[in-house]
Copies of this chain bind each other. A is one copy, B any other.
Amino acid sequence: MAQPIDLAATAKGILSGDRRALARAITLVESARADHRAQALTLLGTLAASGRQALRIGLSGTPGVGKSTFIEAFGLMLTAQGLKVAVLAVDPSSARSGGSILGDKTRMERLSRDPNAFIRPSPSQTQLGGVARRSREAVALCEAAGFDVVLIETVGVGQSETVVAQISDLFLLLLAPAGGDELQGVKRGIMEMADLIFVNKADGDLKPAAMRTVADYSGALQLLRRRPQDPAGFPKALPVSALAEEGLEQAWAEMQTLAEWRKTHSHWTRTRATQSRHWFEEEVRQGLLAALRHEPQRGLMAGYADRVATGEITPEAAAAEMLRAMGRG
């Protein structure tokens, strides 16, 4: 990003489906530099006029459930139907681990070579507030580029599921076959977010265990309160085998059924509107707090923190002085 970006050319490139222009734009929205930020806002504003919408599918699953294999098999099935598929990663942990997911395109080698697919590795530098914004903006760029489906992948740890669910139209949970007593291993909050639960590896020796796990989760899902945004029978649990490429057609059919029902019953528009409100408010909150990371506030904060630590001033009094110094007393 050493060179200035030609915004008009980039916007035109994205709208015509140029993947290099898309990649460049995603790099731009990932940048924390103030001038890049201003450019990113201009670009996003321009592209919003296209009105293009993709089906945004959030996908969560802990390491080992076969997420990459599922995405590759599912993605290839969609591109074979002529659909354009983008895959993005939301991974707040990558700052520590050096990129635990999608750090390497070879993980989905066939899909990454598919001309109708676009895979974006998880950026290496992350901040909690930044992850959500960057991911949301990358989704918007993929929509403007004409992708039909945007898959947003996350590892099943921490708060990243909540972020992904707030970006997605559908939220999928991918699980491995397990004993019934492990059912509570999935946090209730995650269960409540899931529109569809897929139990992967329903093949070979693991098939009986997978079917039991499906039954266990089906039972658990029935105990959850029926949600207004769901038709009868949803949320539901289904077996899939990414390896044997089985159950993927049905998985996709269920997603389409749910998406269509929500569109018909206006839940679709309402959910997107609610998500937009949420992200607007969150952006404002993050923007206000960002002031603390810059000088002179940063230095003032450090100075007060030292005095608070020694007991020279109470936390409350120091905070009141700090807020006054910022004109917010």
Contact = CB atoms under 8 A, between A and B. Distances in A.
Given A284-B322, A287-B328, A305-B281, A317 B276 contact: no
Contacts of A133: 316
Interface string A247-291: 000000000000000000000000001101101110111011101
A281 B306 CA distance: 11
Interface stretch (A40-48, A69-77, A213-221): A40-48
Contact of A305 (B44, B277, B316): B277
A309 B316 CA distance: 37
Given A288-B288, A291-B328, A283 B316 contact: yes
B323 A287 contact: yes
Q: Nearest 8 CB-CB pairs, A to B?
A: A283-B319, A273-B309, A280-B315, A279-B315, A287-B323, A280-B308, A277-B305, A276-B308
B328 A288 contact: yes
Contacts of A115: none
Contact of A315 (B185, B283, B311): B283
Contact of A280 (B140, B184, B319, B327): B319
A128 interface: no
Interface residues of A, number: 46
A319 B136 CA distance: 14
Interface string A5-46: 000000000000000000000000000000000001100110
Given A288-B326, A326-B288, A314 B184 contact: no
Contacts of A319: 280, 283-284, 287
17 contacts: A40-B316, A41-B320, A44-B314, A48-B314, A133-B316, A136-B315, A137-B316, A184-B185, A276-B308, A277-B315, A279-B308, A281-B292, A281-B305, A283-B319, A284-B323, A285-B292, A288-B328
Contacts of A317: 41, 44-45
Given A44-B317, A273-B310, A309-B276, A323 B288 contact: yes
